[in-house]
Chain A
Amino acid sequence: MSLLFSNPEIIRNARIQLRAGRMIAAAVICAAVSITTWASIVHTDIDFSVNGLHKAGAVFGFVLNVQIAVLLICGGFYCLQAVHREKELNTFDFQRVTRLTSLEMAIGKLFGAPILAYFVTLCLMPVALIGAIRGHVPLGIVLETYVLLVLGSIAYHALALLASVLLGRGSIAVSVLLFLGLVGISSLDLFDVTISWSGPFLHLHAVSPFVLGDLIAQPPSVIERASTGLAQSYSWTDLFLGKAVPHSLVLTGLYVTFTCWFLLAITRNLKRDPSVYEIYSPIQAFLVVSYMNLLLLVFNPWAERFRVSDVTIGDKKYHFPGASPYAVEQGLLAASLWLFAILAVILLRNRERVRRRVREFGGRAAGWWAAMWPVPYLVGGIALFGSAVIGLISHYRNPGYWNLRLAIFEVAFVATWLARDALYFQWMNLRRVRHPLASAALYLVIFYVCTSIVFGALNFYHNSHGAALTAIVLPWSAFFLSPWTWSLEARLFVGALVLQCVEASVFVWLHQRKLREFLDAPSTAVAPTEEIAQHA
């Protein structure tokens, strides 16, 4: 069966959403919007040429933004409801028992649920194209813009669909807010996020499709050069492995790869029993997070950040020594920490999963190695990422003070911190409460806030000795570790690391005790019914 053209799920959505009456209504509204937009922009006295667009070009820019909003946001809302609503109506089980594969169902919902949004976008195309042609926007840019719009929307829709699969009943409002928040955050230009005077954190522009409106509103000279080649088409380029790459090319790559990751998660879970949902297998989750970490590394402007430069402003000369290797390492580890936290959440086992493992593997599922879960993946991942960061810093850094031991200590400390908290979450996740993860997160936040206040009141943060002590329970102290503090209190900090390991071991022990409870559960040893079965 063709995934797209004869997919029953797409046809079903089209039959429901694109009935003649609804299509006519949508087309009439779009026509009214088009005429109003054209009239109000073309016949206004405002001079749009300062933005590099003629009046007709401005119509194209405006309509494009409307199309982005309709396709990305409205389409996203449809996708958020695609599975969630079916579960609430008890129709989803009937789809699960059909012979449609997970991929066919996923593709059907991905393109079927937002089909009305696609139709509205199409209805707005005539005015957008007339605007583009009369505004002298090069055809290549128009084509590229719409390709990116479709690819970007598909990526966001896939994420919304994944959320729809995973979220429980009654959580649609939260998921809508989260989706809007994500669109907002991804519309921020990371190029502008500067963590120090040493330059931007990542050489990557905004990644949401809303960036397309900005891409076409460039100075005429840039637009006119569009035919000279892709890399020269835009003034917006990202730095990929130190080389300037057109942002549109980067967007294409990101949209396609993230769509694939999201689709993988959807197809893994769509036809499963919700009680055994598992977003990714451990290896897949590890690869997803490694991929995101790789993006941090490849879009980092390594050479630029360490470049020593002398700038003359007026009659004064300023010397910029480049970024501190420690600041770069700590910045990347902090960013990566969030990604590995996502990995930890994906890997956490719930009660049903542990129960099935105990049934399958017996005592082995409640042993010490099982109690270490999910530490091996987290520590392995951070070790890999940390080694790459240390290696790249060693390659690009300026001659100057660089203590390899301190750099390795930072990586080890972050790994232990994450392992400790992940083990805590894993232990808490096996407790029989309604929202085990939410309550675990709440307790952890309360613990961190209270201890921060106590240590602050004791003035521990302002001396090296105190900082080392706080690192035992508040691991972010390690992020403020300077070479000077390290040289004074190296032994104390190593001691803090060892104590972190002890704390992690306590959670391993607690986790193992919890696993033993599953093994010894009385309900697993009830009288067999074989003699009854013989009657059958």
Chain B
Amino acid sequence: MIRLDNLTKQYDLPSGKAGAILAADRLTFEVPDGEIFGLVGPNGAGKTTTLKMICGLHAPTAGRVTVNGIDVQREPEEAQRHIGYLADFFSLYDDLKVWEYLDYFAHAYKMDEGTIRGRVDEVIGLMNLESKRDQLISGLSRGMKQRLGIGRAIIHDPPLLVLDEPAAGLDPKARVELKALLKELHAQGRTIFITSHILADLEEICTSIAIMEKGRLLRIGKLEEVMREGKSVRRFRVRLAAAGFALAEWLAARSGVSEAVEETMAVRFAFAGDDLILAELLREIVTAGAPVCGFEEVTETLERLYSRVSSGEVM
């Protein structure tokens, strides 16, 4: 769906300083059809610049972007047919009514005149804005405006949605609705390219992910692959029903176990070995007399992975 070839964007540093900033440094990767692709990185990592180059809003200093095989720089109008874009900070035309706003963009995307009215109503329904159809946009809440913004992005039924921080500034309820909406749009077969600071949200909806910093990609791949990457050991947590058994010391003496740390009524440890050896270990813990009431694998969160990758803990 999206292909980036050596995509580079260079800016000047603020005046008085030597050198230049590479907001995107020879980015080369591909996002296949049907993915929800999350781009993660700190402020200034180059995420928005990359997104804008994908949409044809920023001209790359070098390299190229193709969407569905169409060069975004060379054939911008044709490429736009395949792209729906939502910026991080945006306004709508407050003096237009909801249906007029969508109607304007439907015409601007040169949709078939006969289908526009039906499509506008369909999108209004999909965005749960039926009751606001004939209201001025100025009267909508922040969450409704965000939904309308997404409605605008999908009005021409593009196969690719490019969303920059779509959850920014939304309350928890609106965020939940947004996630449900994105999942629904994905289920309809759309590819979604999304950036967000709320990593837990991305972890919940993304199928692939890339971690970006200072214009460069640190990690990229399927979500579970990226999460697994760099991990030679797994971490487990044993919950105890009562104190009195020195489980951390007992575990430290076992082969394959490391970093055993005692917590309140629990012990956390790292384990290197397969599931059969793990099962044997668990049996031994119980037969040794430890009052085990719970045993769980401590899974890596995207947030933790991101902080480990960006701090250089995992290379």
A residues with CB within 8 A of B: 1, 6, 8-9, 11-12, 15-16, 19, 89-91, 93-101, 271-273, 275-276, 351-352, 355-356, 359-360, 432-434, 521-524, 526-530, 532-533, 535-536
Contacts A93-B87, A94-B152 given; indicate if A533 touches B105 (C-beta within 8 A): no
A-chain residues with CB within 8 Å of residue B77 when the two chains form the complex: 99-101
Provide the bound-state CA to CA distance between A351 and B21, in Å.
13
Residues of A within 8 A of B31 (CB): 536
Contact status B28-A434, CB under 8 Å: no
State in angstroms the CA–CA spacing of A273 and B152 once bound together: 22
- Can you report 28 A-B residue pairs in the complex whose CB atoms are below 8 A from each other? A8-B104, A11-B104, A11-B107, A12-B104, A91-B91, A91-B93, A93-B87, A94-B105, A98-B105, A98-B109, A101-B77, A275-B58, A351-B12, A356-B59, A356-B62, A359-B61, A522-B19, A523-B10, A526-B26, A527-B216, A529-B25, A532-B29, A532-B217, A533-B27, A533-B217, A535-B219, A535-B220, A536-B208
Asked if B90 and A94 sit within 8 Å, CB to CB, the answer is yes
Residue pair B105, A356 in contact (C-beta under 8 Å): no
Among B16, B83, B220, the most chain A Cβ lie within 10 Å of the Cβ of B220
Let me know if B276 is at the binding interface, CB within 8 A. Answer: no
Q: In the complex, what residues of A have CB within 8 A of residue B221's CB?
A: 535-536
**A523/B22 contact (C-beta < 8 A), A1-B110, A98-B80, A529-B217 known:** yes
- Asked whether, in the complex, the Cβ of B19 is within 8 Å of the Cβ of A521, the reply is yes
Q: Which of B20, B92, B208, B210 contacts A91 (CB 8 A)?
A: B92
Contact present for B91 and A529 (CB under 8 Å):
no
CB atoms of B20 and A273 under 8 A apart: no
B95 within 8 Å of A (CB atoms): yes
Is B252 in contact with chain A by the CB < 8 A criterion?
no
Query: Which B63-109 residues sit within 8 Å CB-CB of chain A?
Result: 76-77, 80-81, 83, 85, 87, 89-93, 95-96, 100, 104-105, 107-109
B95 touches A533 (CB 8 A): no
**A272 and B105: CB pair below 8 A?**
no
Q: Is the beta-carbon distance between B61 and A97 smaller than 8 angstroms?
A: no
Min CB gap A304→B, angstroms: 52
Interface residues of B (CB under 8 A from A): 8, 10, 12-13, 15-16, 19-22, 25-31, 52, 55-59, 61-62, 76-77, 80-81, 83, 85, 87, 89-93, 95-96, 100, 104-105, 107-110, 152, 156, 208, 210, 216-221, 225
Nearest CB on B from A477, distance (A): 36
Chain A contacts for B27, CB-based, 8 A: 529, 533
User: Which chain B residue lies CB-closest to A12?
Assistant: B104
Among the listed A1, A97, A523, A527, which residue makes an inter-chain contact with B85, where contact means beta carbons less than 8 Å apart? A97
What is the chain A residue whose CB lies nearest that of B8?
Answer: A359
Ranked nearest first, the 9 interchain pairs of A and B with the lowest CB-CB distance are A98-B108, A8-B107, A536-B29, A533-B28, A273-B59, A89-B91, A16-B95, A523-B20, A359-B62
Knowing A275-B59, A529-B28 touch, does A94 contact B85 (C-beta < 8 A)?
Answer: yes
Given contacts A97-B55, A97-B56, A533-B30, 17 further A-B contacts (CB under 8 A): A96-B56, A97-B85, A99-B77, A99-B108, A101-B77, A273-B58, A276-B59, A351-B12, A359-B8, A359-B62, A432-B13, A434-B15, A526-B216, A529-B216, A532-B218, A532-B220, A533-B220
Knowing A97-B80, A99-B77, say if A523 contacts B105 (CB, 8 Å).
no
CB <8 Å contact, B61 and A90: no
Q: Distance (Å) between the CB of B217 and the closest chain A CB?
A: 5
- Which residue of B57, B61, B96, B216 contacts A93 across the interface (Cβ within 8 Å)? B57
CA distance A317 to B273 in the complex (A): 120
Closest A-chain residue to B84, C-beta based? A97
Q: Which residues of B contact A12 (CB under 8 A)?
A: 93, 96, 100, 104
CB proximity of B287 to chain A, nearest CB, Å: 43
Contacts of B85 in A (CB 8 A): 93-94, 97
**B-side contacts of A94, CB under 8 Å:** 85, 87, 90, 105, 152
Contacts of B59 in A (CB 8 A): 272-273, 275-276, 356
Contacts of A91 in B (CB 8 A): 90-93
- Chain B residues with CB under 8 Å of A90's CB are 87, 89-91
Which residues does chain B contribute within 8 Å of A99, judged by CB atoms? 77, 80-81, 108-110, 156
Q: A16-B93, A271-B76 are in contact. Are A526 and B56 (CB under 8 A)?
A: no
Q: Select from chain B the residue with minimum beta-carbon distance to A533.
A: B28
With A271-B76, A359-B61, A532-B220 given, is the CB distance from A15 to B96 under 8 Å?
Answer: yes
Choice from B25, B29, B152, B217 contacting A526 with Cβ under 8 Å = B25
**Measured between C-beta atoms, what is the minimum distance from B153 to chain A in Å?**
9
Chain A residues positioned under 8 Å from B95 (CB to CB): 15-16, 19
B25 proximity list for chain A (CB < 8 A): 526, 529
Contact between B110 and A355 (Cβ–Cβ < 8 Å)?
A: no
Give Cα A93–Cα B149 distance, bound, in whole angstroms: 13
Q: How far is the CA of A434 from the CA of B77 in the complex (A)?
A: 33
A434 proximity list for chain B (CB < 8 A): 15
